[in-house]
Amino acid sequence: MIDTPVLNSRAAAAGALAAAILLQAAAYGPDSPVADAAQRGDLETVRALLQEGADVNAPQNDGMTALHWAALQGHVPMVRLLIYAGANLEATTRLGGYTPLHLASQKGAAEALRVLLEAGSNVHAVTTTGAQAIHFAALAGNPDALKVLLSHGADPNAKESYAGRTPLMFAAAYNRVAAIQVLLAAGADLSAATRVVDYAARAKEDDALRRQRERLMAARYEGSRQSARERRTPPPPQVPPQPPDEPDRPTEPRPDSQARRPAAPEPLSYEDWVGKQGGMAALHYAAREGRLEAVRLLLDAGADIDQVTLGDHSTPLLVAIINGHYDLAMYLLSRGADPNIASEDGVAPLFAAINCEWSLRTWYPQPTAYQQQKTTYLELMEALLKAGADPNARLKTHLWYAAYNAGRMGVDYSGATAFWRAAYALDVAAMRLLVKYGADPNIPTIKPAERRRPGEDPDSAETDPSGLPPVPVGGPAVYPIHAASGVGYGTSRVGQQHRYVPDGWLPAVKYLVEELGADVNARDHEGYTPLHNAAARGDNEMILYLVSKGADVMAVSRRGQTTVDMANGPQQRVQPFPETIALLESLGAKNNHRCMSCE
């Protein structure tokens, strides 16, 4: 049996909920029968409602009025009727701030645009992102709509405020050829570029603001604690004033003072890798999207085929290849594009081609256009080489997009060549092609500055038991034979991401050793040998091959890891390979029993 107080409380709760729902509904504004009818395209109902005195400007919850819907549908008779009835030409939506003119432009409705503009619509009205009607019309691609806007004073070079894009950029990105022709005839600037964003500088500003906020919060917290202590603690007794002490003598610096130690090079952050982005022209947008017709039209109109972005200095050719548009890249080469202009990070078109083909498997979407091209990556690489591409061009830094923001690669691309990247992909065909055109198969990556763990004393570096001389920052790091034998498999979880020629491990190493003379005992900057890498993958076949060519099973890395240690779960989530452990032990290698994934 339920008692009365409980019944009363439930009734009160239900009443409160109903009131809240009514208040919430009221917050969305009045009824909008005219806009609702316009949304349905029901001209007769709109006319009847207006004759009954309904409010022509009553908006729906999102701010859409009847005129917005009529403009979006390109419904010219309804647009005329609503304007005659006093519709607000400059009403804006709640989100985005779109006027009816913006929506008519988005539709590409030329006649609706003409009616709105003749009635007094503002051709320069902007959305919350600074876009004007002409941007939407360029995106829609209807040349007649653009002509109407231009005849009423629209600026063909207007820039929206989000990124500084012009109508020509929108048309080029979406291959709106007719729109491009109208804009060019109206004086659209081929060289206009978008705004540049300096991610490294922005990160520093953000960090400074974060530190300032943390200091303010700490001061406020400490002030609260101090006030609480003062309330609890009696005041101290009065002490008579004392004569001042003699000034302290300056302290002599110790011989091992930190001030005497030269600062270690600072490693680049992710924001440093990204650097500056933006500064793209219409041709870059067309190249990024693989729009051949737009590219042809822009070049015929005089666009600079080698114009670099103002951000990272990428050419249209490089942008096309990075995004997998090999067919367009071949066209740009045929038009005279320079194959040796590299971006700020040192990526030239040749490296971009092999890197795109074997891009890592990641958690994030990545370019797939290369899978739909008539031109193969090897055909593109040879075309670049025939056009004079430098086969030994090296990267200046690691690539921020190498693993699409989620890299566990265990290797830094700084200093890598196209040949090194082909070796990392186990791509013997690409390696042979590059050697044919003069590639040096012995160029390693370069050692980057390394991060110290938080609180780590720079003087307490771990002992290096390898007996190898130290490698300075900028010195040789990872050679092609390390890339081809499995660099990173024992020091990261790159096996989840690495893409390579199927069954290509041994053929790639054999090619490097037997045809190019690679050293089977070569050490990378961490002291690892190809045998360490093969052991980390449990590749017994490669281990036996390397040993047959003189590989030293007793080699020890700078971290003190033997070849057996690399097969014995050298890091978390990398399981041991018992057969490989047994094989290496039988060959005389030492097992330190340091399985990290067994804990």
pLDDT for position 367:
84
User: Looking at residues 467-487, what average pLDDT do you find?
Assistant: 97
**For position 366, what pLDDT does the model report?**
78
* pLDDT exceeds 90 at position 16: no
Name which of 317, 306, 305, 311 is nearest 280 in CA terms.
311
So what's the pLDDT on residue 203?
Answer: 84
Note the pLDDT of residue 24. 42
Q: What percent of the chain has pLDDT over 70?
A: 85
Write the pLDDT tens digit of every residue in 488-522.
999 988 887 899 999 999 999 999 999 999 999 99
The enclosing H or E element of 276 equals strand 276-278
CA distance 411 to 299: 39
Given a cut of 80, is residue 458 above it in pLDDT? no
Q: How far apart are CA 124 and CA 186, in angstroms?
A: 16
Contacts of 363 (CB under 8 A, 6+ apart): 404, 406
The H-or-E segment that residue 146 falls in is helix 143-151
> What is the structure's pLDDT at 230?
64
432-450+465-599 matches 33-189 in CATH topology: yes
292-300 and 326-334 helices, crossing angle to 10°: 20
Q: Which CATH architecture has domain 432-450+465-599?
A: Alpha Horseshoe (1.25)
CATH domain 271-407 topology:
1.25.40
Of 453, 513, 437, the C-alpha closest to 480 is 513
Q: CA angle, corner 109, sides to 106 and 114, nearest 5?
A: 115
Confidence (pLDDT) at 5: 33
Q: C-alpha distances in angstroms, 252 versus 91, 248, 249, 255, 256?
A: 74, 12, 9, 9, 12
pLDDT, residue 455, reads: 47
State the pLDDT at residue 240: 52
Let me know if 259 is exposed, middle or buried by CB neighbors in 10 A (0-12, 13-18, 19+).
Answer: exposed
12 secondary structure, DSSP code: H
Q: What is the mean pLDDT of residues 71-97?
A: 98
Spatial neighbors of 443 by CB under 8 A, at least 6 apart, are: 392, 394, 415, 417, 419, 420, 480
Q: How confident is the model at residue 235 (pLDDT cuts 50, 70, 90)?
A: low
Task: Kindly state the DSSP code that residue 260 receives in the 8-state scheme.
Answer: G
Which of the pair, 238 or 183, is modelled with greater confidence?
183
Per the prediction, the chain carries an average pLDDT of 89
pLDDT, mean of residues 82-89 = 98
* Amino acid letter, residue 535: A
pLDDT (tens digit, 9 = 90+) per residue, 112-155?
A: 999 999 999 999 999 999 999 999 999 999 999 999 999 999 99
Is the CATH number 1.25.40.20 carried by domain 33-189? yes
pLDDT in tens, 249-305: 444 444 443 334 445 567 777 788 788 999 999 999 999 999 999 999 999 999 999
Q: In whole angstroms, how large is the CA radius of gyration of the chain?
A: 34
What are the extents of the domains in the chain? 33-189, 271-407, 432-450+465-599
The pLDDT value recorded for residue 257 is 37
Tens-digit pLDDT profile for residues 390-448? 999 999 999 888 876 555 678 999 999 999 999 999 999 999 999 999 999 999 999 99
pLDDT at position 493 is 80
pLDDT at 215 over 50: yes
pTM, full prediction: 0.85
